Every structure is written in structure tokens, then in C-alpha cells.
Structure 1
Amino acid sequence: MSSAPPKNPPPRDSDEGSLRIYLREIAQTALLTRSEEIALAKRIRKGDASARTHMIQANLRLVVKIAHDYANLGMPIEDLISEGNIGLMKAVERFDPHRGVKLSTYAAWWIKQSIKRALANQSKTIRLPVHVVDKLSRIRKVAVKMADVLGREPTDEELSEEMGIPRHKISQLKTVSLRPSSLDAPVGDDDRAAFGEIVADESALDPSEMLRDKALRKDVLEILEELDERERAILVARFGLDGEKPLTLEVIGKKFKVTRERIRQIQNLALRKIRAMLQQQDIPTRHSDEEAFDETHAADPSFGPSQ
């Protein structure tokens, strides 16, 4: 069955205004009532391409809503929306209103699966299991809610207590989410080093833990001298290595005149460099990959068809 594809968001290199135009365009198609869904589904089963297009376009806002739940996990929002649109098209083709499930409920499963697969497969060299992508999305949602309540970014310890996930797993999952899409991707402001040159096994001792461990801090302080001046200054401020109170990402960002997300990226890049250097010095490991990712993820069986 073929028909015109749904409207897709502008390419990632388009300006933000183009995305707003796309959102306004898809909002022009009214949401469907239950009876309209049933009528369109019947026409689609008879091969009506215009009915298929109408049903897809009436649900593009659902894709945007779900795509935002997976933002900041390694793909631009425009790409997430495009992947979600693919899932929506599959859902529309398979939707059977007689199963007693609303299209939005049924389509949500397909949209999420499409987005999660894209996130998991975005790198040919570093692949994230779908269940890890799912956990990252959950962590982000909880962190946003807690930030609204606390008035600040929650710590890993607070996220751990709220979600019932060990603190070291929270830290490792957040580190994974910041990986570049390829081992050959340039890192650092001068783009001279590739990620493959500094990436370390996730089982390596977490250097952020070492910065808090007085017995091991001396080793890390020596390695800090190998970092560039800005990376070193950010870690010193973030972990209070100069004896002062540790500063938040936002405060450090204002000091360097960049966003707190940029400070987080530089911080994690510096920690990865430290981890690589620690491995070269045969510093013993503390956590294993199995410990970090031992929870499994299963799709909701209530409306998740097999693919």
C-alpha cells in the first residue's frame, strides 16, 4: 500500500524557526475522534491511500510529544521525529480498531520502538542496547521532574534513591548517553583527538568516584596536569579539589560563559581522558558492565505486536 509520506521536520542543520514552522503545519490537521479513526481504518484496509495519509498527519503531534521524551540521548530532535514518523506509519498500516485499543495507544508503542532502535543503532562502532536507551529516557524524565521540585539539578544520589537504581549505575548510564556517535568522531575544541583515542571500557574505575576518594585523590591530581587548562579548571571547581565548596554546573557555566550542558560535556570528556590514563597505569577496576546494565527491558505486551 503506498501513499504520500508524512510531513517530516526540517534537516538538523536548518534553523530553529523551520522546526517551529513544521509544528505549526502539523497542528493544522485536526485530531481524530474514535468514530473517525474507525472509518479511516476501514478505508485504509480497502487500499485508500488518502485515508492513510490523513490518519498519519492527524497523529504527527503524538510523534513530536514522544520524541521529546528521548531528547539529549545522542540524536537531534529532528531525527527523533523522523524516526518516530516511521513507527507511526507502521502503526497506521497495522491498526485494527476492533481490538478495542485507541490508535494513539497502539501507535505510541510503534513510535517508541522506532525511536529506541534508531538511538541504539546510531553508531556502527558503539551500540547501545534498547533497554539501556529506555533507562536513559527514564532517568531524564525523573531528573526533569525532580529539578522542578528541588529548583536545581538532582544529584546522582538523589536520582538513585528516587528510582531505586544504584548510584554507580546512574553515573555510568549518564556517561554512556554522552558518547559521540563514532569512535572516529572528533572530541575537544580543537578536534585533534578522536573519541577512540580516549574511550575506555565502561568497567574501568569511575574517575569521578576517585575524585571523592581521599586515598586515591593524589593519583588523579597528578593526572589532572595532563588535561588542558579549561578541563582542569572545570574539574577542580566541580569536585572542590582546591578545598573550596564544589560548584554546580550552572555556576561554572556562568563563569566560563557557556551553558551548563556544555560544562557537563567538558566535564565528562575530561573524566573519560582520566579514565583512559588510569587504565594505562593499571589502576584496578571497581564496576563491571554486567553490574551496570543487568536489568532487562521488555515491551508492553498489552499492545506490542512482534516485528
Structure 2
Amino acid sequence: MRHFRISPSITNRKTDSLERYLNEIGKIDLLSPEEEIELAKRISAGDRAAADKLIRANLRFVVSVAKGYQDHGLRLSDLISEGNKGLIKASGRFDESKGFKFISFAVWWIRQSIMASIADNRRVVRLPGNQVVGITKAYRAAEVLEQRLGRFPTVEEIAEEMGISDEQAVDFLSHAPMSQSLDALLSEDSDTTVKDLIPNENAPAADQRLWQESLLVDIRRFLMIVSERERQIIYYYYGLFGYPQTTLDDMVFIFKLSKERIRQLKDKAIKTLQNSSKSALLREYLY
């Protein structure tokens, strides 16, 4: 494979150049967990070649994440360029001693970079710089807490994690581009979400809104009957709760499993869900 230059702006070209870029990165071998750890140690010692190798091996994941933001006003090539910036930042901050996979750490930086660019390029509603920073920090706090708690956190928990008031957290989350943050409960004792506090002249009738909220709650409960890994695969496969919709090919990169194994886990989860007595929770929404 001929050499190509890694750059945050590598995809800021015409469509045919983007296609060539996607073909090139598709040929790069993925890294084993052991290789990631070794590269991270070399990066800590100042080895630039190790950083380049780690970045190159994860460029495909940036594309997968970027595709989930295509309806926010930026071209895919621009989204990938911004995601690459986040990936480069992550490569210099990764600490392998904490036990995280690199991609689990890098995804926060990739999304933060993409989200900041989306917010900065909005023309209808222009947000000040400090608001953009607050939004990205709020979303990252939510990501950290979700991994720690095994569920999407409440507004109170996000506010406590950030050291800000509940009102500020609601403000940041209501502007976040990811729909998952809008479903955050204000507290564990409340059924009210951030989305409920956003004025919307075209909002559905109250009974329709309650129906939608009830469906979301039941979907979350329903998916708790499968394993955490199976649940994540379902989230990615269907693009649920803010996860970017991802192909089985790209999930190979995320889970470090073969495509066939991921397919087996997906099918197993779906079969478990279909055969569960709890499926009755959702049947009522189909009629």
C-alpha cells in the first residue's frame, strides 16, 4: 500500500478524493489489544511513529462516528476531518494503564471535535464559544457516567459530575446535537426529561408525547434483559439512544471481534428479546 499523509484535513477534498481516502484506510490492518498497549507506551516516550500507527489504525472508526452526524449541516468529508482532529488529540492523551481500550477513550474526543464544529457552523442559531464548550463537556460527562452507571445518567448526576447547577446542565443538554441527551431524566424521582423543557410550536399533542416517552422508557427496560455487550451491539446496529448507526463491518473495529461473531451476538440478542415475556411491554405500541 502506498504511503499517504495523516492530517486533520486529509478529507477536505472533492468526492472522488474522499472515496480514494476511504478505500485507502480500509486496507489498514486493525491492532490487537497488545499492540495498542505497546504503541501507547512508545507514544508516552515521545515516539511519533507509534502515534502515527495508532492514529492510522483507527481512521475507519472516525468515519463510522462521522456518519452518525450527517444530518447536522456539514458534509461527510468535513465531519471526518473534524473527527480526525479529535482522534489525534486522543492519541496524545491515552493512558493504557487505566485499562480502557483506546477507541473507548478516543470516541469522546472524536465526538467532541465533531460536535464543536457543528455548533460553530450553525447559521440559524449562533452559540457563543463558552456555550459550545459547555455542551461538549456535558455530553462527555454523560458518556463517562453512562459507562460507569450502566445506564444514561440523570440531569442531577451530570450536573454533579460537572460541578454546575441543574439549570446549567439542562441548558447545555438542550442544545446538544445528540438526541440521547434530550432523553435524560431531570432526576431519578422524575419522569420529566430535558426534551420536555424545550419549547416547540410544532410539538405533538400531549397524549402523543406521553406515548413517545413511555415507549422510550419501555425500550430501555426491555433491552436490559440481554448482556451489556449484546445491548451495545443492538444500540450501534439500530442507532438507538444517540449511538451512531453502525454496520457489522465497522463494529469489528469497535468490539475487536469477527464480523460473524458480532452477527451471532446480534441475532442472539434479537432472539432473546423476541422470546421474552417482557416483549409484551412493546406489543401494545404496535396497535
TM-score by structure 1 length?
A: 0.42
* Greater helix fraction, Structure 1 or Structure 2: 2
Point out the structure with max Rg over C-alpha.
Answer: 1
TM-score by structure 2 length?
A: 0.45
